[in-house]
Structure 1
Amino acid sequence: MTTKPLLAPSGKLFVAIALIEALTWTGLLVGMYLKYVSGTTDLGVWLFGRLHGAAFLAYVVICFIVGSRLRWPMWALLLAVLAAIPPLVTWPLELWYRHRGLLSNR
């Protein structure tokens, strides 16, 4: 029987910030729909634009910290940073990294 490796503390941090980054992207996309498609309000863009900007910057910083602590190969670090650019990619990337064991102490 094979057990999955436990997440390292820095791996748990990466999981949390990847989820937060994806959720704020979702909020921003909904806000953009409300502002530009339905024309009802720009509050969502105002709020989630700020939250997502902070989450994006935090995610990039955390990528470098976690990549260094868990000794990620360069491709893993580069892919993690690039995943923050398109909408909602950080969350599936986190699941894939967890599956590959990149978020646990080896």
Structure 2
Amino acid sequence: MFKRILVPLDGSERAEQALPVAARMARGSGGSVILLQVVDVTASSYGYVAPPLIGNLIETSLNEARKYLTDVTTSAMFNGVPTEIHLPFGSVTSHTKSHAVIE
């Protein structure tokens, strides 16, 4: 029934409420879960930052997001459920929409 389930995450408890539901749906249908967290690199997400520091902030954000999603995929609720991690850079809205269309 469900082959690929896209779960956009932002680290909030509200977004995480979808995780057990997605895991159950994937397990029950033999599908997989795609965990998506967009690393927002728009100026509004960082405010004014000196240009030499922006690369460090983006790298830190990417590393934190990767660790977060890895922790989710290795949690007990995803045992036996195929998962993928997607970490694109850019606008949260446009990347979430494009991933939903592709998947």
Q: TM over 0.5: same fold? A: no
Larger radius of gyration: 1
- Give the TM-score taking structure 2 as reference length: 0.40
Decide which structure has greater helix share. 1
Decide which structure has greater strand share. 2
- Give the TM-score taking structure 1 as reference length: 0.39
